[in-house]
Structure 1
Amino acid sequence: MKIIVHPKYKNQENSIPQLVTGFLTDGDLIVKGARNIIKSNFLGDEKVNIKFFQKPGWFKSIIYSFFRSTKAKRSFDYAKYLIKHAILTPFPIAYIENRTSFGLLKDSYYISQQVDYDFTIRELIHDPLFLERNIILEQFAEFTFKMHEAKVNFLDHSPGNTLVVKKDSGKYEFYLIDLNRMNFQNLSIEKRMDNFKKMWLSKTMVKVIAKAYAKLSNESEEKLHAILLEKTTQFKRKTTKKKYLKRKIGRK
């Protein structure tokens, strides 16, 4: 078992393995997916989240063991990068990797602080009457712009991966989660608008995002609106087609 702990939590290093050894029986279940499980538990008096990455297939096990960082390590490292650049994400506490005697990855865990949030972007996307919807979208555009300026291309920039905390009337904070898929690069305006495509924006929301982003980027609102609308429309068509083909194949 390999354990890497953030310096801020060195004094609790001996308690962290207990979160893993008792993972299946202890704590409160938050998400149970096909590949990952997320639970909450306590590290001392602090509530934390533990994300369990199940054992990959033999090929990916070799890749993650010798050629690429594990999802747990990437989550930890990327969270530190975000925080260094003043982009909010649950604070990274530690990551743990279990390996065989031959060094092959078995499974891994990422542990972070619990963030008590009010809603995710998903709720806002699906509710046209969401309170202060346009204000939130404008501030979300600012948050994403800041992320892009820090050279972050968040490949899973989708509605469920941004937690929203209401600080005051008309003031919101945004926290990125599910961090293990990111690229770090200078982003063209095309790539920046492409990064919004998984948000499943309506035409009205595209207008709000384009206008807010234009003010920050010194690009014309018309240009950004045209690019963003095209990227969003293409993504929706592609996703809808995939779902249709899956249903059709499933009936055969």
Structure 2
Amino acid sequence: MRVIVNPKYKKLKSFINELPQKFDTSGESIYKGRNEIKVFDCDGVKLNVKSFKIPHLINKVAYAWLRGSKAKHSYEYAIKMISLGADTPEPVACVETLKMGLFNRSYYVSIHHDYNFTIRDLIGFEFPDKDNILRQFAEYTYYKLHKNGIHHLDYSRGNILIKRLDNEKYQFSVVDINRMRFEKMPYLKGLKNFAQIWASDEELEVVAREYASLNEKDEDEAVRLLIQFDKEHKEKINRKLAIKKKFKK
């Protein structure tokens, strides 16, 4: 077993070391799909633990000896993001287990982040203060992520957490951060990042106009470009799904 613990939370080390034995039988599951996320209360600290699925054989070798696992990347990227001024739940630890010299399971532990809703809850729906939220989302993305050279490669609806503040203000935080790049984010690359939220043309227009304004670019051109980026992204995903469906027959 390989364990990295944030020095700030070294008092939780015994709990973290026991995670591989305790995860399946304790904690409150809040998401279960390819991976599973559970919430634990440990000495008064509310923790969010993500258990990644056991990888296929090639990655069992790669994660064990050649490159970092998804849990390790999540931990390291969270530390870097926070140091750059971006918002993501505070990292506590990562745990990697090996079996017969091959990578087995891994866990990413962070402080549980309270939020009111995600971008998924408003895209495609009637939602109070929706346009204002989308404009602030574009602003957050520009100032907190793109200007700091943070490129979230899975910038999808469910990975953007939103908390209501006073005076029609909102706080944004991103999760599922094991796929990131820290690189310069020129205007077009930044605009294209929004195509992953799978929004309507009307919703994309709100985001595009705000992002263009912040970048001092032409707003109408930004709307046209983002709608085109969105169309290309949707076509790409639908092609992948069609191929998977074909091979399942």
Band of TM-score, shorter chain: over 0.9
Displacement of 1:248 after TM fit? 6.1
Q: Is the 8 A contact 1:4 1:94 kept in 2?
A: yes
Displacement of 1:166 after TM fit? 0.6
Which ranges of structure 2 fall in alignment gaps of 5 or more residues? none
Q: Counterparts of 1:20 and 1:175 in 2: how far apart (Å)? A: 28
Which residue in the other structure is 1:238 paired with?
236
Letter in 2 for 1:143: Y
Displacement of 1:61 after TM fit? 1.0
1:56 matched to 2:55: yes
1:34-49 correspondence to structure 2 within 5 Å? 34=34, 36-49=35-48
Q: Counterparts of 2:12 and 2:176 in 1: how far apart (Å)? A: 24
Displacement of 1:49 after TM fit? 0.8
SS of residue paired to 2:110: strand
Which residue in the other structure is 1:21 paired with?
21
User: Residue deviations 1:41-70, cap 9 Å, x none?
Assistant: 112111111111122111111111222211
Q: Is the 8 A contact 1:163 1:176 kept in 2?
A: yes
Which residue in the other structure is 1:95 paired with?
94
CA root-mean-square deviation: 1.7
1:145 matched to 2:142: yes
Q: Is the 8 A contact 1:56 1:106 kept in 2?
A: yes
1:51-200 correspondence to structure 2 within 5 Å? 51-100=50-99, 102=101, 104-127=102-125, 129-146=126-143, 147-200=145-198
Displacement of 1:246 after TM fit? 5.0
Which residue in the other structure is 1:217 paired with?
215
Q: Is the 8 A contact 2:191 2:211 kept in 1?
A: no
Letter in 2 for 1:37: E
Displacement of 1:171 after TM fit? 0.6
Displacement of 1:223 after TM fit? 2.8
Which ranges of structure 1 fall in alignment gaps of 5 or more residues? none
After TM superposition, the score normalised by the length of structure 1 is 0.92
Displacement of 1:241 after TM fit? 4.1
Q: Is the 8 A contact 1:16 1:43 kept in 2?
A: no
User: Residue deviations 1:157-185, cap 9 Å, x none?
Assistant: 00010111111241111111111001111
Letter in 2 for 1:61: K
Q: Is the 8 A contact 1:19 1:41 kept in 2?
A: no
Letter in 1 for 2:71: A
Letter in 1 for 2:81: L
SS of residue paired to 1:179: coil
Shift in CA distance, 89/120, structure 1 to aligned 2, threshold 3 Å:
same
% identical equivalent positions:
37
Letter in 1 for 2:13: E
Q: Counterparts of 1:199 and 1:152 in 2: how far apart (Å)? A: 17
Q: Counterparts of 2:15 and 2:245 in 1: how far apart (Å)? A: 47
SS of residue paired to 1:212: helix
Q: Counterparts of 2:233 and 2:100 in 1: how far apart (Å)? A: 44
